[in-house]
Structure 1
């Protein structure tokens, strides 16, 4: 085991096989899932389940090792700054990830749609290829390739989910105040409420997806609107799932007394991530559901 001989010496852990094994689990999970989605249903679902199980085990063991390092007192100010910068850059990469999807939505609505409608210098596109195309949003594409569909009512489940996530930002901040005050009850209750709100959000999003597919005719194949709708909301839902899992893990650690008012960056990192998820949803609610 690596030793920490000086309070000012930067801690460098020993070599670990967990990153390589986690990569193998990811390749197995994503690769088999891709085959499964493309109709290879004989063995692909089982390989995907094995890969997912291996992924969860690897993450648990790896996180356990990091928690033990933290509790062992090997991290100092330099390590804390490293973690903060790493989390900041990670969230920045997530901002760029969603910016690409919002950019695709902007390009479709503000540039491609007017072109297809014959505006500007691209009027030949409308004249010779799709003369009957009407550039309105939402669209199922030229020639109605996406079929008929209805949009999701923004003032029903999406509004409820907006209230849930905004409330969860308040509860996680309340939990942070409790941690700074060394109030374990406020901390744990706030985290529990935040995770519960995240789980409720995911439930309502699943209900919304079922309604969209079964009753509204809105699917991934519903033209450019359907694809952008499900890509943006689906990836956000994946981030809410990850955030809820992270909140649950931090709650379990708080119940075991792992954090103090002066040493709790693990909590702060998850809180940062959760606030980011909330901000992204506000953008989705405005630009995907309302406008």
Structure 2
């Protein structure tokens, strides 16, 4: 599936230009592109708002949602400058708490989506961008893509959008622990080995790999697809057992507030 330039065909309701996203529709396939390439597609509150709007207004006829990124990188993660602004306005981190709650809703909207969600990844996939990708059902990346969870090195917990329980569920606790505690970068090939990705392909084959998944899925009967998605989601939730991601926003706010006060006291 090669993305077509916006504006080359008559616009559908899903062909939209939002502040931080571009979306377009090809039959039952809806592509949602993170589109702030000059900033590395950093995940801001505005982007979370746009994602919530698009996913909540999604046409029931959509069978596949492809999450992609414009420019050189899929996403460089959360916007630290916006975190600082939240703390300036409210040192108790109320803004961080609100943002964290949005992040969870967005990742849940991807993970629980009645359509099959596909993450199309390239370049760097970092932090919050990694969490968005991990919330998708299927994940394919260019073979030169790299992945990283740098939060701990920045003084933050891995508490954004339910990334930690999803990573443990997909990669296993021991592997997840090593990636989070060291914050090291890892390759697409290792990501396949860890089940973070299902597939890594040369960059020029990325759209073909997405199409190879999207085509058959789009032909599946809608009711059977919805039920199967629900079964997978239920099984995944059961294997996570005590999923503490509901506390992500509170945990992030508490740590960020304490860090802010400690720095102010220095």
Q: Same fold (TM over 0.5)?
A: no
User: TM-score normalised to the size of structure 1?
Assistant: 0.24
Kindly indicate which of the two structures has a greater share of residues assigned to helix: 1
Kindly indicate which of the two structures has a greater share of residues assigned to strand: 2
Report which structure shows greater RCO (CA 8 Å, sep ≥6).
Answer: 2
